[in-house]
Structure 1
Amino acid sequence: SPRALFYRISYGLLDAEIPMAVLVLPMIDAVASGVVTTVDLENDDDSVLVIHSLWGLGVLLVGGESAADAISCSKDEPPAVIRRRVATKSVRMVAGPPGRGQLAEVAAADRHRISLDDHQALALAGLCRRAEDFWGRPLDIEWCLDRQGRMLLLQARPLALAADRRDRGEGRAEEPEVSGPVLLAGGERAAPGIGSGRVFLIPPGSGPDAVPAGAVLVCRDTPPALVMIMDRLEAVVADRGSVAGHFASVAREFGVPVLVNTGEATSRLAHGQLVTVDVDHLKVHEEASVPRPAGTKGKPARFADSPYLRKLKYIIDFISPLALVDPQSPSFVPESCRSLHDLIRFTHEKAMSEMFSIGDRRSTGRGSRRLVSDLPLTVHILDVGGGLLESAGPGPEISVDDIRSRPFRALWQGLAHPDIDWAGHGHFDWKTFDTVAIAGGVAPRESAALATYAVVSEDYFNLNMRFGYHFAVVDALCGPRNAVNYIALRFAGGGGDFSGRSARITFLAEVLGRLGFAVQVRGDLLDARVSGLDVPEMEKTLDMLGRLLGATRLLDMVLRDSDPVAGFVADFFAGRYSFSSSGSRSAGEPGDGSDNGGL
């Protein structure tokens, strides 16, 4: 069930850790049923156990749909009944068709009569005390009394206590009473604590998913389905419900305050009203500050330090860290892999290297070919079917004229636009930027580690392009079916400082947005995508994308946050592409870059 999955995930339990048993159990036609807590939760007294009891099957009690009689018994030998509280019980669940129960009215004479007499209560108390002694800790025990007068224990589970949470540093110390106007008083303490937030009443026809994070949920009942939204709740106030219900039990484990059996919460508290729920003192206050003793963690620890997150923090060290960064390093070997990220990085790098080096082994007609062009780029082309013309022949080198791939040719046309200056540079101390500037802002030809790789077919290409210190990946499908055509771009890194890289990303995002791309930016990482275009529009967009990549290869080294990006965007769409060389903008214009060698 969804609530079982939430519970399992919240505790960080893997599928392999919870082998499922198939239990075959008889349906007992019970006279009375309920739950025993071997600690008095309302009074935090471990010398007393409390029997919660109602007529018929215990489904209504566990589901938080009905109040129940409460019989408190001492754990002395022999046990004794200390006090009784009789609830009004107008309906009961009885055994119906196989596997199901059905509602029935409680006889008028029984509605205000206690559902267990003292003799039955003391017999049950003795059984539950023995169970607690056997397990060595407080328990939450479901029980029933059958029509033969036998008292049966159905199931037991550890009982979550506020003291347990305090011992783990997750809960709160004893908190002072909240001050402020009282909107509601009374009820029963199902799960202790204090919570503040805005009242949320689930609208008719809606379910728990409608409840927002940080809400104080006000409801008629506390069904188990509410467990699924436990992490969103600051507190819960219910007209009815049970201290011994399933929801209350889980709420105690997660430290969410729950006040039940108030009788009138849904009519007294208004939707959207800011309130503070003080379950310890059975009160709901109008907007009030929550007193917190010094040194207590309060609510954030409920889920921030949950078993689920603790397990994630443990396993993330074996997944996320990246140690294998430089493919040319002697330590770039399988033995250096320390995480899943390292394994993926290593296998990807070696696969790419292997795939594109096949052609260097004189395997005629197979593997990658080197693209010979006037651009200062070392490009290896791998044809996966129809990407090259038959006239390309078997040699190790090809020219642009040998390429059939429609989308690749369109992008290359933009990169090779005559107004893009691949040789000019601004007035920089180029030694600072190594040999990158010598190669026009891209990796030098002799650097195999920084080469550009392309996988091509007739209507598809994937290009991994390294422009010096930054990296661009272009992936495109350009065929007759407009619905599946797309262009995807990822752009990251740079040789300039963060200010320059951020400014260039802003420029790229502006231009790509005007070209029809959906753009997402995170720091100096940009992802962009456009889809659904016909072939002519795809080719036109790829041409413009090629111009953009060529024009901005060194822009991060000269651009700053203070430079008006709008002027560069206007230049680009006016056909002025040489941003990385001097003289591309007239002196005195806004953002003319006069202290950067003139843009």
Structure 2
Amino acid sequence: GEDTEASFAGQFETVLNVARENLFEAYRQVPAGKYTPRALFYRYQQGFDDRMTPMAVAAIRMIDSRSSGVMYTRDPGQPDAQQMKISSIWGLGEHLVDGSGSADQFVVDALGMKIINKTISRKDRRLIGLPEGGTRLEAMPDAEIETASLSDDQALQLARYGLKLEAFFGSPQDIEWALDEKGRLFLLQSRPLNIQETRSEPLGIISDFPDHPLLLKVGLNASSGTAFGKVFLLGAEKVGGPIPEEAILVAATASPDYAQWMGRIKGLITDIGSTTSHLASVAREFKVPALFNTGQATRTLKEVAAITFSADRALVFQGRVEALLDPLHKTKNLFIDRPVHRRVRAVLDHIAPLKLTDPRSPSFSPQGCQSVHDLIRFTHELAVKEMFGLADAADRKAVSVKLTSNIPLVLYLMDLGEGLKEGLSSCDKITPDHFASIPMKALWKGFSHPGITWSGSINFDLGKFMTLMAMGATSEFGETPGGDSYALLSKDYLNFSAKFGYHFAT
């Protein structure tokens, strides 16, 4: 479930303000949430199978929140600064953690227990619970749109509770909280906070880059780092098509639906969204740089092809700015060394390795097969030889004839009828001029095209055709690949098996 080895932040279903008559339907929605596309994608990227992520359903009292939010007992981007971050909005907190709302931000000095920075955002909507059950997003009264949703005293009270929870659990905490209409504070949840590695260098002062215009100088650092990539713009909250690999995703909101793309994208920029949202937590897990709450990214970057941005500095430049990019920063592949990865790796160790590479070796035998690949290789070699009657050609009449040509290819032909010209005897030297098979003549026309070079080293240089057909065969099996190739042909039919190294490409 959520908040274990992988946070699964925002990936499962939460059903708010459930009326008694809707309890069982709400219960069904929660376990079913394990199998939504975003939850399945996230689980796959984390390397867990279904049995390793059992689902429990927690039924808890609903708080009629006047305001709510999230508190980090440490700033994930600057854990050594001894600063706490509190995000707050009007109404229910789901509007904050799902990335669809902007929040007020309080930064508290954890040592001196004082507010050192405060940013009041424009909050024009709030999520409320309805008397009959369910929720509704409503417009805020004009007088409260730009009013703080949390007082300074309440913020400091939260901070003190946060330090107590951090001491109790022994690590920085990510805490969800709510204030009811009577001003009573409720701590709803406390989970380990994902802390990023401290930067080894100070941010410093950014120089001007004349060849790279500064496009944005605004936003909140949701996940530290710098990134370059092509802009992929989302005009709506739902993904309308495949996102290219290593793109910068630019979206209106910080929807948790975008977590499914964390293993694919290089960075994330949003118009609105809180640094304490679920998507921000997932971005930090995958070490994907993220800049939230820019207010204008989807408009400003609409016609821009590629950008470089720094989440720490809240700067977005046009094009690739090498001076900003950290060559050591890489997004994190969480699948590696997780349970599913280890299981797949163990299975592949019995499937993929190939030991039987030389048919002339004494170990090329059933006893020498150590993997599924070996079995396929061994049976394939013997099946082809048996098909062409080469295994005991000395004891019976040969069923195939060897082609003589100026192409460095050892090719045996089996005429199934009207594949070769009539009147040929066993004494005749068979050349391409003797082909009667229509597909064979067409294929040989391509082989002998002036644009294909067959001269020089044969080590994986048998021309474009053979390179494409034998893609995957490499020189690790000897300096000079080779062996016999075979063709079954008739007037209108051709089955051509080209031998290259140890491969038969048909």
TM category (shorter chain) comes to: 0.5 to 0.7
Query: Where does residue 64 of structure 1 map in the other structure?
Result: 99
User: Does 1 or 2 have the higher relative contact order (CA < 8 Å, sep 6+)?
Assistant: 2
In the TM superposition, residue 40 of structure 1 has moved relative to its aligned partner by: 2.4
Query: Where does residue 592 of structure 1 map in the other structure?
Result: none
Flag the 1:208–1:228 CA change in 2: closer, same or farther, 3 A. farther
Deviations, residues 403-459 of structure 1 (Å, cap 9, x unaligned): xxxxxxx984467875787776799xxxxxxxxxxxxxxxxxxxxxxxxxxxxxxxx
Choose which of 474, 488, 506 in structure 1 pairs with 2:465.
506
Choose which of 207, 214, 222 in structure 2 pairs with 1:182.
214
Flag the 1:500–1:95 CA change in 2: closer, same or farther, 3 A. same
Query: Where does residue 120 of structure 1 map in the other structure?
Result: 154
Any conservation in 2 of the 1:175–1:292 contact (CA below 8 Å)? no
Query: Where does residue 23 of structure 2 map in the other structure?
Result: none
Helix, strand or coil for the counterpart of 1:281?
A: coil
* Structure 1 counterpart of 2:328, one-letter code: K
Helix, strand or coil for the counterpart of 2:490?
A: helix
In the TM superposition, residue 148 of structure 1 has moved relative to its aligned partner by: 5.4
Flag the 1:94–1:544 CA change in 2: closer, same or farther, 3 A. farther
Matches within 5 A, 1:512-591: 521-523=469-471, 543-544=490-491, 549=496
Matches within 5 A, 1:183-582: 183-203=215-235, 207=239, 209-291=241-323, 296-298=327-329, 301-303=330-332, 306-310=333-337, 312=341, 314-315=345-346, 316-323=348-355, 339=371, 341=373, 375-376=398-399, 412-413=416-417, 499=458, 503=462, 506=465, 521-523=469-471, 543-544=490-491, 549=496
Helix, strand or coil for the counterpart of 1:88?
A: coil
Deviations, residues 121-140 of structure 1 (Å, cap 9, x unaligned): 23322332222223332222
Helix, strand or coil for the counterpart of 1:255?
A: coil
In the TM superposition, residue 25 of structure 1 has moved relative to its aligned partner by: 3.3
Separation of aligned partners in 2, 1:13 and 1:42: 27
Q: Is 1:135 aligned to 2:94, yes or no?
A: no
In the TM superposition, residue 49 of structure 1 has moved relative to its aligned partner by: 1.2
Structure 2 unaligned regions, length at least 5: 1-35, 388-394, 401-413, 432-454, 474-487, 502-506
Any conservation in 2 of the 1:213–1:233 contact (CA below 8 Å)? yes
Choose which of 129, 146, 149 in structure 2 pairs with 1:95.
129
Separation of aligned partners in 1, 2:377 and 2:92: 59
Matches within 5 A, 1:143-162: 143-147=177-181, 149-162=183-196
* Structure 1 counterpart of 2:119, one-letter code: R
Helix, strand or coil for the counterpart of 1:266?
A: helix
Q: Report which stretch shifted further, 60-69 or 196-205.
A: 196-205
Any conservation in 2 of the 1:175–1:291 contact (CA below 8 Å)? no
Helix, strand or coil for the counterpart of 2:331?
A: helix
Separation of aligned partners in 2, 1:344 and 1:500: 24
Q: Is 1:20 aligned to 2:55, yes or no?
A: yes
TM-score of the superposition, structure 1-length normalised? Answer: 0.56
Flag the 1:83–1:307 CA change in 2: closer, same or farther, 3 A. closer
Quote the RMSD (CA, aligned, Å). Answer: 4.5
* Structure 1 counterpart of 2:142, one-letter code: A
Flag the 1:500–1:52 CA change in 2: closer, same or farther, 3 A. closer
Query: Where does residue 438 of structure 2 map in the other structure?
Result: none
Separation of aligned partners in 2, 1:503 and 1:238: 52
* Structure 1 counterpart of 2:170, one-letter code: G
In the TM superposition, residue 219 of structure 1 has moved relative to its aligned partner by: 2.6
Any conservation in 2 of the 1:200–1:272 contact (CA below 8 Å)? no
Query: Where does residue 89 of structure 2 map in the other structure?
Result: 54
In the TM superposition, residue 112 of structure 1 has moved relative to its aligned partner by: 2.5
* Structure 2 counterpart of 1:8, one-letter code: R
Deviations, residues 376-413 of structure 1 (Å, cap 9, x unaligned): 37xxxxxxxxxxxxxxxxxxxxxxxxxxxxxxxx9844
Any conservation in 1 of the 2:270–2:295 contact (CA below 8 Å)? yes
Deviations, residues 213-244 of structure 1 (Å, cap 9, x unaligned): 33333332221112222234333332211111
Separation of aligned partners in 2, 1:103 and 1:30: 13
Flag the 1:502–1:50 CA change in 2: closer, same or farther, 3 A. same
Query: Where does residue 391 of structure 1 map in the other structure?
Result: none
Any conservation in 2 of the 1:31–1:145 contact (CA below 8 Å)? yes
Separation of aligned partners in 1, 2:306 and 2:494: 56
Deviations, residues 62-92 of structure 1 (Å, cap 9, x unaligned): 1211111122223348x44443322222110
Any conservation in 1 of the 2:304–2:318 contact (CA below 8 Å)? no
Helix, strand or coil for the counterpart of 2:106?
A: strand
TM-score of the superposition, structure 2-length normalised? Answer: 0.65
Any conservation in 2 of the 1:40–1:50 contact (CA below 8 Å)? yes
In the TM superposition, residue 106 of structure 1 has moved relative to its aligned partner by: 2.0
Helix, strand or coil for the counterpart of 2:47?
A: coil
Flag the 1:332–1:68 CA change in 2: closer, same or farther, 3 A. same
Flag the 1:238–1:126 CA change in 2: closer, same or farther, 3 A. same
* Structure 2 counterpart of 1:297, one-letter code: L
Separation of aligned partners in 2, 1:154 and 1:338: 56
Helix, strand or coil for the counterpart of 1:84?
A: strand
Deviations, residues 489-517 of structure 1 (Å, cap 9, x unaligned): xxxxxxx998388648838x9xxxxxxxx
Helix, strand or coil for the counterpart of 2:335?
A: helix
Separation of aligned partners in 2, 1:50 and 1:236: 21
Structure 1 unaligned regions, length at least 5: 167-171, 357-371, 378-409, 428-495, 510-519, 526-540, 558-599
Any conservation in 1 of the 2:420–2:490 contact (CA below 8 Å)? no
* Structure 2 counterpart of 1:185, one-letter code: K
Separation of aligned partners in 1, 2:70 and 2:426: 80
In the TM superposition, residue 6 of structure 1 has moved relative to its aligned partner by: 2.5
Helix, strand or coil for the counterpart of 1:4?
A: helix
Helix, strand or coil for the counterpart of 2:262?
A: helix
Deviations, residues 275-300 of structure 1 (Å, cap 9, x unaligned): 22122222222335232688x423xx
Separation of aligned partners in 2, 1:320 and 1:271: 46
Any conservation in 1 of the 2:310–2:324 contact (CA below 8 Å)? no
Helix, strand or coil for the counterpart of 2:241?
A: helix
Helix, strand or coil for the counterpart of 1:144?
A: strand
Deviations, residues 572-594 of structure 1 (Å, cap 9, x unaligned): xxxxxxxxxxxxxxxxxxxxxxx
* Structure 2 counterpart of 1:19, one-letter code: P
